[in-house]
Every structure is written in C-alpha cells, then in structure tokens.
Structure 1
Amino acid sequence: MTAPTGTPQQERPANPWLVLAILCLGFFMILLDTTVVNIAIPDMSTSLDASLDQILWIINAYVLVYAVLLITAGRLGDIFGPKRLFILGLVVFTAASAACGLASTPEQLIVFRVIQGVGGALLTPQTLSTITVIFPADKRGVAFGVWGSVAGIATVAGPTLGGYLVTDFGWEWIFFVNVPVGIVTVVLALVAMPDLRLNRRHRLDWAGTGLATLGLFLLVYGLIEGEPHDWGRVWGPITIVEVIGAGVLVLVVFLYHQYVSRAGEPLIPFTIFRDRNFAVMSWLSAAIAFSMLGLFLPLVIYLQSVLGLSALQAGFAVAPLSLLSMVIAPFAGRVSDRAAGKWVLVAGLTLWCAGNATVVALAEVGTGQWGLLPGLLIAGAGLGMVFAPLQTIAMRNVAPQQAGAASGLINTARQLGGVIGSAAVGALLQAQLADKLTSAARANAADLPPDVRQPFVDAVAGATGGSLHIGAGQSGAALPADVPEQYRQTLTEVATRTFHEGFTDAMKVTLLLPLIVLAVAAVSCLLVRNRPTETAPPTDPLRAEEPAQA
C-alpha cells in the first residue's frame, strides 16, 4: 500500500544512536574543513607559491558553493531520500579532499575546493532530516543537542588538529585526513542508515539558485580581485567596480524573483521575515560569521608569518577562545531561557566586540604567543553567550510548519555572512597592505646602501599590486636579484622587518571592519521583542515535524 504524500516510509532502526554517530561523523568532517584550512594559510602560500588573492579564493570557493546549495540540497534529500544524498555528499567530499591534497598549483586547489563545497552542501541538510524521523519526540532534544555540540568541537579541534597536521606532516594532510574518515563513514552509512522515504513533493528553484550563485560570485570576485587589478579593468573594458555593481544587480533580481515566486517554493520564503525577531536574528547570524572569518583570516597569518609561531603553536594560541565559549554556552542557554535572552545576547555581542578590540590593541610585532590571550578570553566569553539565545529568539515565534525553512535560512545567512566577511576583510587587508608595506619599505630603506634603496621599495610596491606572498618566513615580495652578496643579508633583514611592521599595521586597521559590523549587530538587538507572540497551530501535522534544511 502506498503511503500518502508527505508520510515518511521507513523502518525505525534498532539503534538510532548509532545512526546519530554516523551522521555526526560526516557532519564533523564537513565543519572541520571550514576551520582547519585557515591555520594552513601560510604553509599553503609558501608551498604552492600562492599570492594573497589566491589564498582568499582557496578559502572562499568552498564556503561560497556550500552556502548557496544548502537549501536546494535539503529539498533534494526530501525527494530522493536523505540516505542517498548523505552518501553521495560523502563520496564527493572525500574524493575532492584527496584531490585537494594532491593539488600542485593554487588554481587546482581552488577547483577542488569548489567540488568539496558541493559535497558538503549535499551532506549537511540530510543530518537533521534523518534525526527528526528516527528519534521519537521525547528523545529528539537530546539528539539535537549532541548534533549541535559537534559544531563546537569542530571549532575547537580545527585550529589545533590543523596545526598538528601542518607542523608534523604538511598542509596536504589537512585534506588527506578526510579520506579514511570519509571511507569509514560511507561504509557505516551503507550498512546502518535507514533508507528513509520522506515522500515530500518540492519544486526545485534552480533559477533562484543560479541567480544567487552568479550574484554572490560576481560580488566576491570583485572584492578579492579588486586590489590586484588596482580596482580598474579586469575583463577587457570591464572594470572591478562594474563587476561588483553587476553582482549587486543580480542579487536584486534574485530577491525580486523570490518575491514573485512566493506562491511556490522559493529559496527565501518572505513570510518568515514578517517576524521581526527572526529577521533580526538572521542578520545577527550573518554578522557574527562575518566577524569570525574576518578575525581569523588576518590573525592566523599574523601569528605564523609575523610572530613566527608554528601552525601547531598558532592553533594552541587561539584554542582558548573556542574552549571558553563551549564552557559558557550551556549556562548562557539556561539564563536566556529563564530571563530575557535579548539582554544575554546584547552582553555576549558586546563582550565579543570588546575582546576583538583588545586583540587589535595588543597585536604588535613583538607580541608573544600568549600576548593576545586576554582579548581572546573576553571574545570567547562573549561568543559563548551568543549562540543559544540567538537560536531561541529566532525560532520563538516561528510556526512549526515553517521550522524547517527557518532553520535553513538561519544557517544559510550564517554561511553567506562568512563568505562576504572573508571577501570584504580580504579586500580591505590587501588595500591596507599596499599602503602600509610601501610606507614601511620607505622608512626602513634608510638602513640599506643608497643604490639598493629604490629597487627595494619598488619590489615591495610591485608585490602589493597582486603578487604579495604571506607565507611563514617570507618577506612578502621577491627581493631584487642583482643585489651584491655583501648586502643580501642586510636586505633580507630589512625586508622581513618591513613585512612584519607593514602587515601588523595593516591588520590593525583591517580588523576595524568586523568590529564595526559587530557594534551594529549589538545595537540591532534592541529591536528584539521580549514577549513571544502567539503562533498559529500547524495546519498539517506531518509538516509540523518537517526537518530543518540546514
């Protein structure tokens, strides 16, 4: 007998906790890859001879594709079954990880990172939809809690595990480590995961997905490639400003398309945003991700290429932030449940902003490994007070039948905030490096023989135009080849000092951008309504338990 549309067809597994462990293993691998790559930036730059703008593409290619495909991948799981999409995502991600480790040029690595993003997007939404079906209602909260804790563990483990692999084995192993884990997870999923048939009918918004992808690509491309092309022409007569403008225009068209498609199944159901709390929390999710990636991008370069820490030491240096946030998060959740979560959120964002500001103030050329610890602890305390009240406030007034779409939108907003934050901070960092490195070169050139000064300044200025290298032990630019041997050691010392001073000054100015975004986000919390409003009961009891597409 055929089940009615919308009714899950499945046999409840004998051990749903085993299935949860498999889902979390795959999800952990995906999340780990978003944090582990940052710590390897200096080593990848050195090994692949990659410039700063190429490094930015290596980071953003994955997150960009991952973000724009999340909702569509969730709907594909509803149509074809979450087990199939979960395994397909694992296979794609694992194969792409092996290819990333074998990449010999920055261009190859960027392409394989795009494929990784596709695999990650296919896998992630299937985890929540499977948990929703296989666990009874009275056990579902615990299961979701275990699933959610994986994100915190991945955040802590990413820099430390990545630092260990990079220091002892090389940057390639941050990708190779995914291969055995992926293979084991695929085998376990084939054996233990139930073949669910959710039987939900969806209209796939391929036009919306295409418009969002094109618009975001043009925007991110313009931000990353702006400084290397001197904000001028990039494709024939087309300029960087025109590329960014075209990206914004395409995104406007995307929003219009979503609005006129609201009677069907657009990627963005605008009715959810009638709830002010949800709209504000979506913006906050994007702002927090903007600030997190915006902070870590310059910081890991600073720790390794300026302070001279190994990748492992750099991982340990930033680990206290994540550890403290994990300790505080459960207590912040309880307080926000009993009192007004709005003010817990305001306090958390204020501390997160203050901690980042302290990091900026403490960062100097001679700062030690633990010199930034006070700022990182303050930031970690703030971050731990943010996530629980944010999710609670966001979902407080959302009707049950819209819970899946709402969770998907929150997660997508977070990923898009990270993409734009990384690109925007990277663009500002490149622009500041062009100014600060050249100024430092002119100041330090006085320590060089007269006939070497101008070639040195020209080499540094030329590197900031698109070939700047930020690997550990590098000076940012290729030094003049015709320098007499007796001057070379002095030239190397001056170049290294120039890079350290210029990068530190550029980083301190650059990090003002995520600080401003965080300050605006903290003020935005004042728009949150404290009292919950009544929500209409779900008209379809089956859709009331529709899993989150996130």
Structure 2
Amino acid sequence: MVEAARARAPHSGLALLVIVIGVLITAVDTTIVVLALPEIQRSLHIGISSIIWVIIGYLLVITLLATQLGRLGDMFGRVRMYELGFLVFIVGSLLCALAWNEASIIGFRLLQGVGGALVAANSGAVIADTFPPEQRGKAYGYNAIGWNIGAVLGVLLGGLIVTYFSWRWIFWINVPIGLVALAVAIKVLRDHGERERRRLDYLGTTTLGLGLFGILWGLTKLTSESLNASIIEFVIAGVILLGVFALVEQRQKEPMLNLSLFRVPTMSPTLLASLFQGLASFSVLYLLLMYLQGVRGYSPLHASLLLLPGYVVGGVVGPIGGRLADRYGAVWPATVGLVLQMVALVIYAQLGTGSAIWILSGAYVIGAVGSGGFYPANNAAVMKAAPAGSFGIASGMLRTFANIGMVFSFAAAIVVASGTISKRQAFAIFVGTSKLSAHIGTEFTSGIHNAFYLSVVLMAIAAVFSATNLKHHFSGKKTNSSNFPPKTVTPSP
C-alpha cells in the first residue's frame, strides 16, 4: 500500500488538477445556463414550459447514469471512463453551441449530461485510487474548490456573455478548456484499481428513468399550469414506476442501486444526508437570483457579483474542511457544515423588498462555509465506507442520491415560491423572461420565504442523518467492507 502510494505521488498534483478541472467545467454548466435561458428561449423560439428542460434534462441524465457509468469505471478502468467523459462533454458542448431549435438544444444537453455523468461518477473513484485514505479528505477539499470556482464562473460568465456576447458562447468556452484538460489527463492519469466484472442494470435504469421523468414532468407542468388530470396522471405513473424499480432491484444480480452497500454502518445516513442536502440547497441560487432580479431589479451581472464573495470563501474553506475530515473524521465537519447552511437559509427567509443587500451576501458566505465543510467530508465518508473494489459504484451512488435531490429541489422550490402569485408569471420570472411589478413584490417575496423555509426543514433532516454517524465515530467501529458481500475480481484484459 505504501509503495503504491509512493508510486503515484510524482503525478498526484497534476492528477488532482485534472480532476478539479473536470469538476469545474461540469459545475460551470449547472449555473451558466440559468442566466442564458431568456436568450436561448428567444433565439430558438422555445416554449416557456419547455425551456426548463435545458437545465433539468442535463441533471436528470447525470442522475440516471451515475451508478451505471461508475460501474463501467470498475469494469474498464476509472481513468479511461473519466477521460471518455471529458470527450463526450466536449462534443456535447460543441453541438449545444450549434443548436438550431428546441429539440436540438435539449437533445444535445442530454448528450452533454452523459459526459458530465462519466466525469462525476468516476472522479471520486479516481481520487480514491490516486490518494491514500489519509489524504483523500484534502483531495476532496480541492475538488470542492473546483466546484465553487466553476459555479461562480458560471454565474459571472453567464452574466457577461448574456450582456455582451451570444448565448452560444456559454457552450463554446467548454471546448478549448476541455481539450487541454483531456490532453493533460491522458498524460498524467493512470488506472491503479483492480478491474471488476460487472453487469449493467438496463431494466432498473429504464424504470428509474421513466419514474423520475413522470414525476418531474408533472411538477414542471405545475410550475406554469393549475393542477389538472394530466399532471396527476404523470405523477401517479412516475410513482408506480419507481415502485416497479424497487421491485426490479430486489431481483437483479447486480442492481443499479446496490442495496448491499447499505449494510455498511455509515453508508445509509451518509447517502441520505447527501440526498436531503441536495433537496435543500440546489434551488438556493435560483431563488436568490429570482429575488435579486425579480424583486430588487438587479441585472444578471450585478446579481452574480453580489454572490461572488460566498463562492470565493467556499473555495478557500473546501480544503480546510477536507483536512478536518482527515484529522478528526468526517462526521463533525459534515454536520457542522449542514447546520451553517441552515443558518444561511433562515437569514434568506427574512429578506424583504428593502433589506440591506449586504445581509444576503453575508448569508451566502455563511452558506458557502457550510458547503465547504460538508461536501469534502461527506465524499470522504462515503469513499472510506465503501469496499476497496467498489469505489466506482459508491461514487456513482453518491452522485445519484445528490442529483435526485438537486433535480427535485429545482421543481419543488418554484412550485412553493409561486404560491402567492400566478404560476405562469412566477415561472416567467424564474427563468428571467419577466420582472415583477412593484405592487406584487411583497407577495412574491413571501412565496420565496416559503421556499426557503422548506429548504430549512430539508437541511435539518440532512443534518440529523449526518449526526447519526457520531455513534460510529465514538465507538470506533469499522465502517468499510466487513458487512459487504465478497466480489469476484478478474484480471484486466
């Protein structure tokens, strides 16, 4: 083990840089598109109820494919799949920049999501292969820097590009960055993990995908329409298909979601903490942009600049949170991070039409500190608990749970926030195609408050799940593969 770590050491810095860049460019595309939605809609003549799928479709693909593509990493090499993800993401970005209508932009975003899923599902496993256990928390901390920098670049570049250039440049910029990162990855990254014989769960993937799609389709329609029979039918069909998925998974030899991993003591609460944290936090950026642009009347660029301090602080805190996880265990920094995010959400819920803007910026810094503590510690906890031969599956499951939360956070927040005014008007504001008139600003702010309070409750649930790991932390029980079924390892071809 020590010799292997030493063998990896000369290129570990460059390897981490490549991984961080991969996370960075995928993070850019989760935020940059939001500020470009109005221009994309006008340019390609997309319906207002369809434009949301430019965002949700991307996230849904990553959610659906995370475990399966992590499994491919175990089968054919995590680095190989990670590099393939770069290539697919670059091609998807290129095609998005060339999109000519509604179907093409949504379809190419789905392809881009496949590349993002390959990167996301295998990045954690590549870190686990590249760094020894006592250094992984720090590595995940630097990964958090990549995410924070990518998110803030997405917001800032989105504002600049929408203001001064064509929306197509939000996709063009990925191409040169991705090509350089891919070239470096090919040179410095090496597969060190043993190959595993895996089977892909096609039936599970299909039933989960259709189930999630049905519920999401119903929720997205609810953001712009009143409740009707069609919406109810889609949601019911989605719930039924999720039930079918659960039954299918119990009969699969190698299910999409490997329930055996939940026998590991700390795995279940850690994954559930990630799910509820995603439910609570992903909508925050969009709610704040709604408030800043719709209620306060700021431009996209000005609004993004107000959030910049939080992203900078979050990037600095990420490595610190990772080091704390290495030194003291993952439970404390993860749980404290969730509590800090709750504090920020409570402050957001107090914002009014005349609140001092520094309060919002300060709260965003508090939330960013919490995120910087939670993400690297939670990632380290999952990878520490995972059996050595299942880093790809564990990394994929982590992304699946987090992304399910993120996808539904988006829809749930706008449904709740739009409860005080017309859903169609609220949704138009949400995607930036309209601004609030003065006489309904107070009512809509109240709706945003309700969405933030929902996030507070969800974040509290995440904190409870995270805190349940304290008993394992103090008892010193093993949290890895002791309860996991043995696997057959086959030599790489």
TM-score bucket of the superposed structures, by smaller chain? 0.7 to 0.9
Question: Which of 206, 209, 216 pairs up with 1:213?
Answer: 209
If you compute each CA radius of gyration, which structure gives the higher value, 1 or 2? Answer: 1
Matches within 5 A, 1:256-405: 256-261=247-252, 264-335=253-324, 342-364=331-353, 366-367=354-355, 369-394=357-382, 397-405=385-393
Tell me the SS of whatever aligns to 1:73.
helix
Root-mean-square deviation over aligned CA pairs:
3.8
- Separation in 2 of the partners of 1:511 and 1:52? 24
Say whether residues 1:505 and 2:451 are aligned partners: no
- Separation in 2 of the partners of 1:89 and 1:284? 27
Q: Which residue of 1 aligns with 2:417?
A: 429
Tell me the SS of whatever aligns to 1:231.
coil
Residues 322, 342 of structure 1: alpha-carbon distance in 2 compared, 3 angstrom cutoff: same
In the alignment, residue 422 of structure 2 is paired with which amino acid?
A
Aligned-residue identity in percent? 29
Tell me the SS of whatever aligns to 1:511.
helix
- Separation in 2 of the partners of 1:503 and 1:74? 42
Question: Which of 401, 408, 415 pairs up with 1:413?
Answer: 401
- Separation in 1 of the partners of 2:365 and 2:86? 35
Matches within 5 A, 1:422-501: 422-434=410-422, 463-464=424-425, 468=428, 470=430, 474-475=434-435, 496-498=437-439, 500-501=441-442
- Separation in 1 of the partners of 2:162 and 2:251? 49
Residues 148, 308 of structure 1: alpha-carbon distance in 2 compared, 3 angstrom cutoff: closer
- Separation in 2 of the partners of 1:19 and 1:336? 21
Question: Which of 177, 183, 190 pairs up with 2:179?
Answer: 183
Question: Which of 210, 219, 228 pairs up with 1:232?
Answer: 228
In the alignment, residue 36 of structure 2 is paired with which amino acid?
A
Residues 104, 410 of structure 1: alpha-carbon distance in 2 compared, 3 angstrom cutoff: same
Q: Which residue of 2 aligns with 1:203?
A: 199
Matches within 5 A, 1:117-196: 117-130=113-126, 146-189=142-185
Q: Which residue of 2 aligns with 1:484?
A: none
- Separation in 2 of the partners of 1:382 and 1:135? 25
Q: Which residue of 1 aligns with 2:477?
A: 533
Matches within 5 A, 1:93-104: 93-104=89-100
- Separation in 2 of the partners of 1:251 and 1:154? 33
- Per the normalisation by structure 1, the TM-score is 0.75
Tell me the SS of whatever aligns to 1:40.
helix
1:468-498 Cα deviation digits (max 9, x unpaired): 455658347xxxxxxxxxxxxxxxxxxx324
The structural deviation recorded for 1:221 is 0.8
1:223-265 Cα deviation digits (max 9, x unpaired): 11124342213xxxxx21121111111112112221222xx22
**Contact residue 79 and residue 202 of structure 1 kept, 8 A:** yes
Say whether residues 1:521 and 2:465 are aligned partners: no
The structural deviation recorded for 1:516 is 1.8
**Contact residue 307 and residue 368 of structure 1 kept, 8 A:** no
Which range is displaced more, 129-138 or 202-211? 129-138
Tell me the SS of whatever aligns to 2:86.
helix
The structural deviation recorded for 1:271 is 2.0
1:404-438 Cα deviation digits (max 9, x unpaired): 43333222211111011112223333444327xxx
Choose between structure 1 and 2: higher helix proportion: 2
1:140-183 Cα deviation digits (max 9, x unpaired): 77666544542333234332333333333243322121122233
Q: Please list every run of 5 or more consecutive structure 2 residues that lacks an aligned counterpart in the other structure.
A: none
In the alignment, residue 298 of structure 1 is paired with which amino acid?
L
Tell me the SS of whatever aligns to 1:283.
helix
Say whether residues 1:243 and 2:234 are aligned partners: yes
Q: Please list every run of 5 or more consecutive structure 1 residues that lacks an aligned counterpart in the other structure.
A: 1-7, 234-238, 436-462, 477-495
The structural deviation recorded for 1:83 is 5.6
Tell me the SS of whatever aligns to 2:349.
helix
